A and B are shown apart, each in its own frame.
Chain A
Amino acid sequence: MYEDLKASNTDLLSVAVDLQGPDKARPYHEQARAEFVTVVDQANSLSKLFGFRAIPNGILIDEDGVLRYQKYGGFDIRKPESLEVVQQFAGTGNAPEAAESGGVSPAHEHFERGYALYKSGDVEGAKAAWREGVVVDPGNWNMRKQLWAIENPDRFYEGDVDYGWQKQQIDAGR
């Protein structure tokens, strides 16, 4: 599917944002019969480096390591409009102007504090830190939804992700 990109000297790098680690990300990578490398960002470090609070995102970087495009939210390589941006960049080196709507979350430190607790085995302490963070920044969907996934694994990891349930959580302000 992506051979034409490789022919244009363009590589794909897939980043799974998942504090629960590779075991959660691997099934999705394999389901996509992925022809690209997937790395796992457990600490959500690139959210801080680039400045974003939600996914799916796309970033295009040229041969010299220079940023050419960034779109935070609504960039999905499986969708034709996103793939087209990548194909255009691969073929011409040009990328459209994009509304980036980025920014580091004001609650990123809550995420980091919770993640440190989570890694140490204090899952309840982690959840408390993240819950505080969601109050500070409800728009930090990365933290908010990863918290949901830990609290409600049956809605995420048994069959398909239950997006109807997610909408109910949003409507209920959780």
Chain B
Amino acid sequence: MPANFQPGDQVPDFTLPSLDGKQVSLSDFRGSKVAIFFWGSW
């Protein structure tokens, strides 16, 4: 099964709440490189 995007694709914006209650969007990082890492407490 392929993932939804491939290298070279524009990533659509998304917004999620931070632990301190702020809304954080991917677009907030525009102009910087960003490394996103996913983890779980489980």
Contacts and interface: CB of A to CB of B under 8 A. Distances in A.
Given A24-B41, A39-B18, A51-B2, A93 B30 contact: no
Between A52, A59, A86, A100, the greatest number of chain B beta carbons within 10 A of the residue's beta carbon is seen for A59
Interface string A11-35: 1111111100010111111000000
B14 A45 contact: yes
A61 B42 contact: no
Contact of A60 (B3, B18, B35, B41): B35
Between A15, A27, A51, A90, the greatest number of chain B beta carbons within 10 A of the residue's beta carbon is seen for A15
A8 B33 contact: yes
A5 interface: yes
Interface string B15-42: 0111100001011011111111111111
Contact of A18 (B6, B31, B34, B41): B41
A66 B33 contact: no
Interface residues of B, number: 35
A56 B19 contact: no
A156 B41 contact: yes
A13 B17 contact: no
Interface size classification for chain A: 35 or more
Contact of A46 (B6, B9, B14): B14
B33 to A, nearest CB: 4
Contacts of A5: 35
Interface of A: 5, 8-18, 22, 24-29, 37-41, 45-46, 49-52, 55-70, 72, 75-77, 82, 86, 89-90, 93, 95, 100, 102-104, 142, 145-146, 148-149, 156-157, 161
